[in-house]
Amino acid sequence: MLARDSGELDTAINTIREGLREHPDEVPLIVGLGQLLNEAQRYDELTQVVARGLELDPDNTNLKSLKILADIGGDIEQIGGCRRTR
């Protein structure tokens, strides 16, 4: 997926969320939303979306990959928030 500016990402995320309101069990929409949230580095939201997707389709390899990315991204954010002082 190509990098986009945050305005485009937010618009795309909101569009998919609207689709999910009408079709909450549509796994391809969940995967698409997860990919966009990962690109936007919104790992807390990504974790929630992936968990829902895996409830619906526990063997989905795209969702499993996104879960790993969410876990890694969240860990990096935590590490980045811990600055060493001397």
Count of beta carbons in the 10 Å neighbourhood of residue 38 = 20
Instruction: Tell me the pLDDT tens digit for each residue of 52-71.
Output: 999 999 999 999 999 999 99
Q: What is the pTM of this model?
A: 0.82
- Give the pLDDT confidence score for residue 67 in this predicted structure: 96
CATH assignment at residue 38? 1.25.40.10
Residues of the domain holding 17: 6-81
In sequence order, the 6+-apart residues with CB closer than 8 A to the CB of 76 are: none
Q: For residue 68, is it within any domain? A: yes
How many domains does one find in the chain? 1
Count of beta carbons in the 10 Å neighbourhood of residue 26 = 16
Instruction: Tell me the pLDDT tens digit for each residue of 29-46.
Output: 999 999 999 999 999 999
**Which residues in the chain belong to E strands, given as ranges?**
none
